[in-house]
Amino acid sequence: MSWKFDEKSPIYAQIAQHVKMQIISQEIKSGQQLPTVREYAEEAGVNPNTMQRAFAELERQGMVYSQRTSGRFVTEDTELIAKTRRQVAQTELASFVENMTKIGFPKEEIVSVLESYLKENTQ
């Protein structure tokens, strides 16, 4: 089944973000071998060159590394994964606060709205 992509950013960047989210959420574990470019491309429904570019971006970020004859693996740098996870959380929180402010909530009220939501929806 093909993955869903939007028109807002390049497909390779969306793929890299998707895999990065799998890594920081530990859906893909540190040190785990990734599927081949062709396998991932088939799963995502994209050209292998697009998937190769996404993997190159993940390597540039340090999230994955290549072993010449063995394939690609998730970094074992748990501090990098934790740091990336915190950065993603900060971005999400900034977006949430900005959107809540846009719809008229004062910053002081956002915390109570969030606490109420968490009490009602996490049981």
Tell me if 71 sits within 8 A of 36, measured CB to CB.
Answer: yes
CA distance 53 to 71: 15
Say whether pLDDT at 29 is over 70: yes
Q: Can you give the residue ranges of every domain in the chain? A: 11-76, 79-121
* pLDDT tens-digit series, residues 53-103: 999 999 999 999 999 889 999 999 999 999 999 999 999 999 999 999 999
What CATH fold (topology level) applies to the domain 11-76?
Arc Repressor Mutant, subunit A (1.10.10)
Q: Residue 6: how many CA atoms within 13 Å on its side-chain side?
A: 5
Say whether pLDDT at 44 is over 80: yes
Q: What are the residue ranges of helices labelled H in the chain? A: 11-24, 37-44, 48-61, 78-102, 107-121
H or E stretch covering 108: helix 107-121
